[in-house]
Amino acid sequence: MGEGTVRTACPYCGVGCGVTATPDGRALAVSGDADHPANFGRLCSKGSALGSTTRLEGRLLAPQINGRRATWPEATTLVARKFAEAIARHGPDSVAFYVSGQLLTEDYYAANKLMKGFIGSANIDTNSRLCMASAVVAHKLAFGADLVPGCYEDLDIADLVVFSGHNAAWTHPVLFRRMEAARARGQRHVVIDPRRTDTAEGADLHLALAPQTDVRLWNGLLADLMRRGAVDRGYIAAHVDGFAEVEAELAQADQSPAAVAADCGVPLADLEAFFRLFAETPRTVSLFSMGANQSAQGVAKGSAILNVHLATGRIGKPGAAPFSITGQPNAMGGRETGGMATTLAGHMDFDEPARARVQRFWGSPRIAAGPGLKAVDMFEAVADGRIKALWVMATNPAVSLPDAGRVREALAACPFVVVSDCMAETDTMSFADVKLPALAWGEKDGTVTNSERRISRQRRLFAPPGEARADWRIVADVGKAMGFGDAFGWHASAQVFREWARLTAYENTDRMLNLGPLSGITLDAYDALEPVQWPVTAAGGTPRLFTDGRFQTPDGMARMVAVAARGPAEATDAAFPLSLNTGRVRDHWHTMTRTGLAPELCRHAPEPYVEIHPADAEPLGIAEGRLTRVQTLQGEAIAIARVSDRQRPGSVFMPMHWTEAFAPSGRSNPLVARSRDARSGQPEFKHTPARVRPYRETWRGFLIAREGWSAPKGLDLVWRRIPQGACQLHEFAGRGDQAERDALRKALIRGAGDDAVRFEDPATAGVREAFLAGGRLERILFLTATGRLPPRDWLAELFAADSLTAEDRTALLIGRPPGRAVESGPVICACRNVRAERIEGAIAGGAVTVDAVGEVTSAGTTCGSCRPEIARLIAALAPKEVRHAA
Q: How many residues interact with ligand SF4 (rule CB under 6 A)?
A: 14
Please report whether residue 666 would count as binding ligand SF4 according to CB under 6 A.
Answer: no
Q: How far is the CB of 657 from ligand SF4 (least distance, A)?
A: 14
13 interacts with ligand SF4 by CB under 6 A: yes
When asked if residue 344 is in the footprint of ligand SF4 (CB under 6 A), the reply is: no
Which pairs from 737-742 meet CB under 8 Å and 24+ separation? 737/698, 738/765, 740/699, 740/715, 741/699, 741/701, 741/765, 741/767, 741/783, 741/785
Query: Which residue, 495 or 862, has its beta carbon nearer to ligand SF4?
Result: 862
Could you give the CA distance from residue 644 to residue 648 in angstroms, rounded to a whole number? Answer: 9
- Compute how many other C-beta atoms are within 10 angstroms of the C-beta atom of residue 807: 10
Closer to ligand SF4 by CB, 176 or 462: give it. Answer: 176
Nearer to ligand SF4, 47 or 397 (CB): 47
Backbone angles phi, psi at 859, to 5 degrees: -65, 140
Stretch that binds ligand SF4, among 6-14, 104-112, 184-192, 558-566 (CB under 6 A): 6-14
Q: Can residue 39 be called a binding residue for ligand SF4 (CB under 6 A)?
A: yes
Residue closer to ligand SF4, measured from CB, 12 or 551: 12
Under the criterion CB under 6 A, does residue 831 sit at the interface with ligand SF4? no
* 174 binding ligand SF4? (CB under 6 A): yes
Q: Which of 15, 414, 703, 727 binds ligand SF4 (CB under 6 A)?
A: 15
Residues 113-152, mask of contacts with ligand SF4 (x by CB under 6 A)? ----------------------------------------
DSSP string, 427-471: TTGGG-SEEEEBPPTTT--EEEE-TTSEEEEE---SPPPTT-B-H
671 binds ligand SF4 (CB under 6 A): no
Nearer to ligand SF4, 30 or 503 (CB): 30
Is 17 one of the binding residues for ligand SF4 (CB under 6 A)?
yes
Give every strand in the sheet of 718-723, ordered side by side. 718-723, 728-734, 699-705, 776-784, 766-773, 756-761
Distance CA 323, CA 842 (A): 38
**Of 460, 390, 392, residue with least CA distance to 421:** 392
The CA distances from residue 655 to 42, 584, 881, in Å, are 26, 5, 36
Stretch that binds ligand SF4, among 171-179, 562-570, 794-802, 814-822 (CB under 6 A): 171-179
**Burial profile 657-696: b = 16 or more Cβ within 10 angstroms, e = fewer:** bbbbbbbbbbbbbbbbbbbbbebbbbbbbbbbbbbbeebe
Dihedral sign for Cα atoms in the order 53, 331, 320, 678: negative
Q: CB atoms < 10 A from the CB of 778, how many?
A: 20
Residue number of the CB atom closest to ligand SF4? 47
Name the one range near ligand SF4 by CB under 6 A: 37-45, 54-62, 263-271, 634-642. 37-45
User: Min. distance of Cβ 383 from ligand SF4 in angstroms?
Assistant: 34
Q: Lay out the sheet containing 6-9: strands in order across.
A: 6-9, 18-24, 27-32
How far apart, in Å, are the Cα atoms of 446 and each of 458, 499, 526, 536, 851? 5, 13, 9, 17, 39
Q: Which is nearer to ligand SF4, 447 or 579 (CB)?
A: 447
Nearest distance from C-beta of residue 659 to ligand SF4, angstroms: 20
Peptide linkage before 211 cis (omega within 30 of 0): no
Q: Which residue among 37, 149, 173, 854 contacts ligand SF4 (CB under 6 A)? A: 173
Task: Single out the residue of 140, 166, 172, 374 in contact with ligand SF4 (rule: CB under 6 A).
Answer: 172
How many other C-beta atoms are found inside a 10 Å radius of the C-beta of residue 61?
Answer: 14
Give whichever of 172 and 314 is closer to ligand SF4, judged by the CB atom: 172
12 binds ligand SF4 per the rule CB under 6 A: yes
Per CB under 6 A, 192 contacts ligand SF4: no
Does residue 854 bind ligand SF4 (CB under 6 A)? no
Which contiguous run of DSSP H or E holds residue 377?
Answer: helix 375-383
Min separation Cβ 450 and ligand SF4, Å: 8
Residue (30 or 487) nearer to ligand SF4, CB: 30
- Least distance CB 27 / ligand SF4 (angstroms): 19
> Is 211 among the residues that bind ligand SF4 (CB under 6 A)?
no
The minimum distance between CB 43 and ligand SF4, in angstroms, equals 4
Q: Does 327 bind ligand SF4 (CB under 6 A)?
A: no
| Amino acid at site 438 | A
Instruction: Please tell me whether residue 803 adopts helix, strand or coil conformation.
Output: coil
| By the rule CB under 6 A, 321 interacts with ligand SF4 | no
Q: 43-62: which residues touch ligand SF4 (CB under 6 A)? A: 43-44, 46-47
- DSSP string spanning 187-199? -EEEEE-SS--HH
Query: Smallest gap, in angstroms, from Cβ of residue 682 to ligand SF4?
Result: 21
Mention every residue, 6+ apart, whose C-beta is less than 8 A from residue 819: none
**Longest CA pairwise span in the chain (Å):** 85
Beta-carbon count within 10 A of 506 CB: 18
Min separation Cβ 532 and ligand SF4, Å: 17
CB of 355 to ligand SF4, least distance (A): 36
Residue closer to ligand SF4 by CB (options 172, 355) is: 172
**Helix pair 243-250, 214-228: axis angle to 10 deg:** 110
* Helix (H), strand (E) at residue 271: helix 268-280
CA dist 659 and 31 (Å) reads 30
**Cβ neighbours around 875 below 10 Å, total:** 14
Q: Report the residue number, 596 or 689, with the smaller CB distance to ligand SF4.
A: 596
CB of 19 to ligand SF4, least distance (A): 7
* Piece in contact with ligand SF4 (CB under 6 A), picked from 41-49, 599-607, 611-619, 767-775: 41-49
- Can residue 531 be called a binding residue for ligand SF4 (CB under 6 A)? no
Position 461 contacts ligand SF4 (CB under 6 A): no
Q: Yes or no: say if 5 and 20 are a contact pair by the CB < 8 Å rule.
A: yes
Which residues form the interface with ligand SF4 (CB under 6 A)?
10, 12-13, 15-17, 39, 43-44, 46-47, 172-174
